[in-house]
């Protein structure tokens, strides 16, 4: 995290900064002495949590703006008033299950939202005399489902999105590149693998399984659970984004893979086994979570149950990181097993963080609390 971001990346607008990856990225930006200004823009949807940013907001370089990226005039003014030189665009609806329940929301937010943000940048930067950068956060899901044993895809692979979420991200990517080719917008783009780590909203696979296991609730696995994903720790991902901002070429896209593929079932088993060990070693945890099977000496693995598969569930994603390694000197370094242990410890140590979310968005209003989940 100690590689300083190069110009033009000193005055940042981070969209979606109160969400999972955005929060982690804002923390990293403030560790960079080169960061002069950090404006965090977030609509605070169910996934946005201002409390994530408490530490950032103590830093006088930070300004939090509660607004929607689609508010074109206000965002244009904000870019001008704050003299933003670098936009890092995370804001999106990000949960595949929700995109199946409400595809319109994903198009309105991820596609039209990105379009509006690009338009704001185009207007605000039209008379800029110094370099600017628009970095767009995309996903490996835009490349669609890979066959088992197929080689990980490069940035040149054709798009083949298969869920409303990945289709909306793909459309946003095309708009970003269209603004580069048509209007000369100085863009970069990165495709990340599945992220995990601190501050991830509890609908996503790892916190979802962990919290369910703590409460003795079932761990529902879609289908056979052998869907494969590459996983990147969010701290590695943030380092990768900084590397793109520092050394990436304008107009280029970079894959940011993690440290290895895992099946959903294997992850569920690793979570239960770590939790069994943590509970066995800690009487306070056993008292705090009496419904967890491990509190009574049984294994959390008894909670695993297979349910019918998600419609259109992609079997495998895997991206080739050679370009980022060669051009940016970036490779993810946190081994999945270590990162998972640290993540579980973070959730155990920050129970108040997720309990507050559960209180605000409890099971009656959040069907995801009952269902299996994936990113
Ligand atoms: N989580 C992953 O594994 C992963 C992997 C690859 C790429 N991505 C991409 O990274 C980005 C961030 O993902 P995340 O997991 O942190 O998501 P998240 O759902 O945790 O956070 C999204 C944030 O964006 C905000 N937001 C949503 N719509 C907005 C709008 N119209 N205006 C302003 N703010 C808005 C939300 O309030 C929230 O704070 C997304 O673009 C996602 O597609 C995520």
Q: Which of 42, 93, 97, 141 is catalytic?
A: 141
Mean pLDDT, residues 27-55 taken together: 97
Mean pLDDT, residues 69-91 taken together: 98
Banded pLDDT at 363 (limits 50, 70, 90): low
Residue 190 has pLDDT above 80, yes or no: yes
pLDDT digits (tens, 9 = 90+) for 286-340: 999 999 999 999 999 999 999 988 888 889 999 999 999 999 999 999 999 999 9
Is 82 a catalytic site residue?
no
Q: Does the C-beta of 186 come closer than 6 Å to ligand 1? A: no
Residues 6+ apart with CB under 8 A from 259: 231, 232, 233, 236, 332, 333, 334, 335, 336, 339
Rounded to whole angstroms, the Cα distance separating 96 from 106 reads 10
**What is the rounded average pLDDT for all residues in the chain?**
94
DSSP state, residue 369: G
Mean pLDDT, residues 95-113 taken together: 96
Smallest CA-to-CA distance from 152 within 268, 270, 341, 325 is with 325
Range with lowest mean pLDDT among 95-99, 110-114, 327-331, 365-369: 365-369
Is 141 a catalytic site residue?
yes
Is 46 a catalytic site residue?
no
Domains and CATH numbers, the chain: 11-201+232-258+314-334 (3.40.50.720)
Give 165-184 as a DSSP string: HHHHHHHHHHHHHHHHHHH-
Q: Does the C-beta of 14 come closer than 6 Å to ligand 1? A: no
Could you tell me the two tokens for 248?
A: 């990436």
DSSP E strands in the chain: the ranges are 11-15, 37-42, 62-66, 86-89, 133-139, 187-192, 194-196, 219-222, 228-233, 253-256, 261-263, 304-307
Q: What percent of the chain has a predicted confidence (pLDDT) above 70?
A: 94
Residues 6+ apart with CB under 8 A from 79: 13, 87, 120, 121, 124, 125
Banded pLDDT at 8 (limits 50, 70, 90): confident
Residue 365 has pLDDT above 70, yes or no: no
Mean pLDDT, residues 186-210 taken together: 97
Residue 285 has pLDDT above 80, yes or no: yes
């Amino acid at each position: 995290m100690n590689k300083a971001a190069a110009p033009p990346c000193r005055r940042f607008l981070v969209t979606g900064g109160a969400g999972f990856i955005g929060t982690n990225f804002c923390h990293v930006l403030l560790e960079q002495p080169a960061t002069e200004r950090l404006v965090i823009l977030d609509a605070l949807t169910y996934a946005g949590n201002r409390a994530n940013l408490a530490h950032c907001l103590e830093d006088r370089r930070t300004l939090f703006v509660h607004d929607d990226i689609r508010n074109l005039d206000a965002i244009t003014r904000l870019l001008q008033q704050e003299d933003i030189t670098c936009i890092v665009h995370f804001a999106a609806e990000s949960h595949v299950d929700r995109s199946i329940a409400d595809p319109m929301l994903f198009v309105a937010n991820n596609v039209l939202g990105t379009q509006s943000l690009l338009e704001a940048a185009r207007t605000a930067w039209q008379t800029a005399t110094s370099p600017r950068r628009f970095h767009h956060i995309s996903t490996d899901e835009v490349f669609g489902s890979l066959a088992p044993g197929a080689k990980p895809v490069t940035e040149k692979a054709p798009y083949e999105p298969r869920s409303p979420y990945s289709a909306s991200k793909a459309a946003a990517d095309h708009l970003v590149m269209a603004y580069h080719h048509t209007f000369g917008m100085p863009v970069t783009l990165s495709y990340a693998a599945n992220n995990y780590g601190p501050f991830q909203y509890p609908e996503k696979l790892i916190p979802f399984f962990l919290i369910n296991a703590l409460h003795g609730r079932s761990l529902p696995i879609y289908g056979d659970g052998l869907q494969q994903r590459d996983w990147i720790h969010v701290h590695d991902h943030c380092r990768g984004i900084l590397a793109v901002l520092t050394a990436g070429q304008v107009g280029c896209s970079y894959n940011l893979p993690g440290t290895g593929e895992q099946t959903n079932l294997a992850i569920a088993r690793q979570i239960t086994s770590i939790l069994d060990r943590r509970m066995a070693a800690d009487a306070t945890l056993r008292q705090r979570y009496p419904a967890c099977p491990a509190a009574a000496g049984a294994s959390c693995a008894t909670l695993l149950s297979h349910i019918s598969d998600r419609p259109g569930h992609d079997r495998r994603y895997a991206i080739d990181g050679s370009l980022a390694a060669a051009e940016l000197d970036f490779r993810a370094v946190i081994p999945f097993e270590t990162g998972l242990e640290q993540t579980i410890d973070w959730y155990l140590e920050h129970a108040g963080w997720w309990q507050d979310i559960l209180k605000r968005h409890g099971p009656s209003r959040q069907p995801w609390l009952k269902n299996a989940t994936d990113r």
